[in-house]
A and B are shown apart, each in its own frame.
Chain A
Amino acid sequence: MSGQDLFGRLSQSPVNPRKSAPRRGFDVADLYRGPLGEVEAAAHTDALALDEKLRQAYFWIVNHAVISPHYDIEYNDEPPTEFRVGDARTPLVLPTAQSYSSFILLPLLTFAARRKCLFIGGPGRGKTASAILMGILAGYSVKEVRRAMQHGHPQMTVADLLGNPLPADLVTAQSVDDIRIAWRQWLGMRVKIVDEYNRIPTRTQSALLTVMGDNYAEMLNQIFECPDAAWYLTANDDQGGGTYQVIEALKDRIDVVVQALAFNPRFLTDLMTRIEENIRPEDMVPAQIVFSEAELDSMDEAIRVVELPDPVRRRIEFFVSQFEFSEFAAAQFEYKTKDTVRLAGIESHQVALLDNGRDRLRDLGCQTHNGLSVRALMALLVYAKALAFFRGQTVVELEDVRQVLPFVLHARLTPDLDAPFFEQPGHGVYRSDRIGWLRRLFDLACAEYDRLDLDRDDPVEVLSAEFERGLEGLTVQQVQARLRRIETTISERMAGNKLYGHLYDDVLKLKYLHQRYTNFLHWLRVQGG
């Protein structure tokens, strides 16, 4: 036991005990185990499952490193107690199951899944400190993490970011290929931190984009391949208030946005103790919660294999399909998207004026200026799986998706603040509360999904499943029958004149199936002829 272990002891009991966990038999080795710090504790923790270790890390940070965590990711296993408070009658929920603080959980999931996380919030709220903790969890010393952190500033050059050509080579080289580069050390690290990224000049941002997006750095024809890494970026303002406008492509590379919430002065005593006793949590991280490179690889694999059940997938599809569709954006069916409007340089409200009779309150697509990119969808799926993994589940639950969705879509789904939704009584708060709005949006989509009874009655899903089983062995008659069913389904889906986002995507899917069957039918006829 070292002095550090004294401070940094971890609970040896499971941090998320489950009823179904198989119980091991009584072992006399337990005689020497208990609450005291001990040498064998490390060995005991080594054998922990990675999800348990990740939870241990989460709870260590919550209990020792962050003074006032906010439990804004709420889980309930029975109806919670709820209070309506203030003039706005805002619900205050006391969760009945293990709930989490997004400010710690999302960075930790980013660490586990090796994605990219942006901390936003005013100065001095622990954004950089949290990022440093993640670096230490990856096995780096505090000094290494601090030295490797990139601090954005208006004079930051590409060389500052990536490295410098060796001066001797610059003088003696006969070709560009001969010039070796002294790459910056941070490029090779498994946790990368860029502080105040919105203060980086635009040209340097482009170099950063290459590293973030393609995982390599390039300078004078020399390439440095970076390892898979978790990225943490910080910004005091996510709305373009930095020194430089952040380029859109760089923003789109960020997988989650986490807001650092305000310090609760009720916890001032803890802050004072920390000052008086000169304790810095980053110096105290217990060795048991530090992840090796192999463990990080295994954890990434384990997250990927978490199952996403079809009913949950369908709800995600239904939600996402609400936003891209714009009926009067184009004459060609496939181009009826908000992106077509954007590319044409037309204001979205001008197209909205063409809408006649659409229920703009019920149509969730009317609440946003844009749809969702594939990258956003991938991030949503990865984080939903990572959250399920973190909670010790092998299958993603709908609540996992509901909880991570607002953080993934925070910077990706732009609200149309002139939409009728925001004019509704009590909805004004959603103009500033992006997380609350996105969660509400998902809830509304789920309610609509239930109203349409799509879990039980979804002909497009039936036809898709039929197609997925393969075309082999189908006869001409069978294919023709399927084509007729697709046409009938389109006709039925379009029976009401109004077209909404989810119907638009259904029809596009049916058109895709129709085309595949049509091609197969041609092939069958050629074979037969």
Chain B
Amino acid sequence: MISVAVARVLKQHREACNRWYFEARHRFPHLDQQAFSTFLQQDAAPLLARAEALPPAEFEALVLAIYRHGLQLAGLRWCGHDSCFGLLQQAWQRFLPQALPLIRQTPDKALVALAHGLKQLADHPDADALLWLRQMTALTTLVTDLDDWLRAGQVLAWRCGMAHFRGSALVQSALLDDAVLLFVLDVNELPTRDRLQRAFAANRWWTPDQPPADLVEQRRVGGLAGMGGIFTALPQVFAVNDSLYVQSGERCFELHVDAYGASLLPARAVTERRVDRASVPWSTARNQLTLDGRRCSFPDIHSISSVACTHDTVALTSADTFQVIVLSRCGGEA
């Protein structure tokens, strides 16, 4: 139900609201009016109900921002019955009302940023979008500024599995308050900022509460297309300039992986693949890998088809799983 207060604002701005609706319908020919109504009446209702206590001008601005935002969500089919983005509905109904003190600061910016962030996390196969949403909600008690909140959200996205953001998230983490950083990294105490940054930079498997283990399987990524994976041909791993890549048929991927998650992202074909067979530090025999004198075996595979190594990571593939098996190394530990 649309509350009396919201209805009053919409009535007051009826002409503008109608124009926005027509404009949205022009831009999104498949805009579902029902989805938009449901969004306004149900999804946005808890936040709007809480917002009624705001000063009238602020409330009015928020209602109109939500109206315009809802049009776009409905236009993109991010809300409504046939939406493939159910988490957004949960976010609006359960979590966003608690974030009102932050959202009210710049409603357009906050709503758009949250929708984009949530969508990206939800679309990422290895990221935990619900965890991100919960943590973002919990953070509303620790931060008072919208920009700080969104910045913490960026670092949280990395923590929740978006490994490809590692580099820039670490830069952003340096700008967070100690209390916020402790919360985001889910630890009770931290080393000094310098040591923290150095340790993160030195080994991607290092976390404040756990040092990296040597030659321990950390995760598996990829898999055969049609079985929930993305590789259509047997993947082959290789490393260039301490970065990992996977070639599967004609397609090439960048492999970003660390203690918090993994991302396989399409890449341009890498032509500088130079592997000096004589100098590789590993050897393989059936399902066994030997590296730096240490041996590691994988009971569920029969053979290893490719191996690549960086200073802190080993990646290998097998025709048995079509997955990339990722192991941590102790190299570079701070």
Is this pair of chains taken from one and the same complex? Answer: yes
B233 at the A interface (CB under 8 A): no
Closest Cβ of chain B: how far from A316's Cβ, in Å?
A: 36
Closest Cβ of chain A: how far from B172's Cβ, in Å?
A: 6
A525 to B65, CA, bound (A): 86
Given contacts A7-B23, A25-B167, A26-B168, contact A39 B108 (CB under 8 A): yes
Contacts of B150 in A (CB 8 A): 32
Task: Find residues 10-46 in chain A having any chain B CB closer than 8 Å to their own CB.
Answer: 19, 23, 25-40
B19 at the A interface (CB under 8 A): yes
Closest Cβ of chain B: how far from A37's Cβ, in Å?
A: 6
B109 at the A interface (CB under 8 A): yes
Closest Cβ of chain B: how far from A192's Cβ, in Å?
A: 31
Task: Find residues 214-253 in chain A having any chain B CB closer than 8 Å to their own CB.
Answer: none
A9 at the B interface (CB under 8 A): yes
Contacts of A38 in B (CB 8 A): 108-109, 112-113, 116
Number of A-B contacts (CB under 8 A): 100
A357 to B107, CA, bound (A): 81
Contact of A36 among B72, B157, B162, B169 (CB under 8 A): B72
Contacts of A273 in B (CB 8 A): 26
C-beta contact mask, B233-261 vs A, less than 8 Å → 1, else 0?
00000000000000000000000100000
Given contacts A6-B71, A26-B168, A28-B172, contact A36 B24 (CB under 8 A): no
Q: Which of A9, A30, A32, A279 has the most CB of B within 10 A?
A: A32
The answer to whether A32 touches B112 (Cβ under 8 A) is yes
The answer to whether A35 touches B76 (Cβ under 8 A) is yes
The answer to whether A9 touches B108 (Cβ under 8 A) is no
The answer to whether B113 touches A6 (Cβ under 8 A) is no
Closest Cβ of chain A: how far from B240's Cβ, in Å?
A: 14
B232 at the A interface (CB under 8 A): no
Given contacts A7-B26, A31-B120, A34-B116, contact A39 B20 (CB under 8 A): no
Contacts of A31 in B (CB 8 A): 113, 116-117, 120, 153-154, 157, 162, 165
Given contacts A34-B119, A39-B109, contact A28 B23 (CB under 8 A): no
The answer to whether B119 touches A28 (Cβ under 8 A) is no
A87 at the B interface (CB under 8 A): no
Closest Cβ of chain B: how far from A330's Cβ, in Å?
A: 62
Closest Cβ of chain A: how far from B18's Cβ, in Å?
A: 9
Chain A residue with Cβ nearest B164: A26
A3 at the B interface (CB under 8 A): yes
A277 at the B interface (CB under 8 A): yes
Interface SS of chain A? loop
B294 at the A interface (CB under 8 A): no
A257 to B240, CA, bound (A): 53
Task: Find residues 343-398 in chain A having any chain B CB closer than 8 Å to their own CB.
Answer: none
The answer to whether B109 touches A27 (Cβ under 8 A) is no
A1 at the B interface (CB under 8 A): yes
Closest Cβ of chain B: how far from A446's Cβ, in Å?
A: 35
Given contacts A6-B23, A26-B167, A31-B153, contact A39 B112 (CB under 8 A): yes
Chain A residue with Cβ nearest B154: A28
Contacts of B256 in A (CB 8 A): 26
A38 to B157, CA, bound (A): 20
The answer to whether A1 touches B108 (Cβ under 8 A) is yes
Closest Cβ of chain A: how far from B272's Cβ, in Å?
A: 15
Chain A residue with Cβ nearest B115: A36
The answer to whether A3 touches B20 (Cβ under 8 A) is yes
Contacts of A279 in B (CB 8 A): 22-23, 26
Contact of B113 among A3, A28, A32 (CB under 8 A): A32
Closest Cβ of chain B: how far from A36's Cβ, in Å?
A: 5
Given contacts A6-B71, A6-B72, A36-B76, contact A27 B112 (CB under 8 A): no
Given contacts A28-B169, A32-B117, contact A40 B109 (CB under 8 A): yes
A278 to B21, CA, bound (A): 12
Contacts of B322 in A (CB 8 A): none
The answer to whether B20 touches A6 (Cβ under 8 A) is yes
The answer to whether B25 touches A277 (Cβ under 8 A) is yes
Q: What would be 17 A-B contacts, judged by CB atoms less than 8 Å apart?
A: A1-B68, A1-B108, A1-B112, A6-B23, A7-B24, A7-B26, A19-B268, A28-B157, A28-B165, A29-B168, A32-B112, A34-B115, A36-B76, A38-B112, A38-B116, A39-B108, A284-B23
Q: Residues of A at under 8 Å CB distance from B?
A: 1, 3, 6-7, 9, 19, 23, 25-40, 273, 277-279, 284
Interface contacts beyond A36-B72, A277-B26: sample of 11 additional A-B pairs, CB < 8 Å, sorted by A: A6-B68, A6-B71, A7-B24, A23-B268, A26-B167, A26-B168, A26-B256, A28-B168, A31-B157, A36-B69, A39-B109
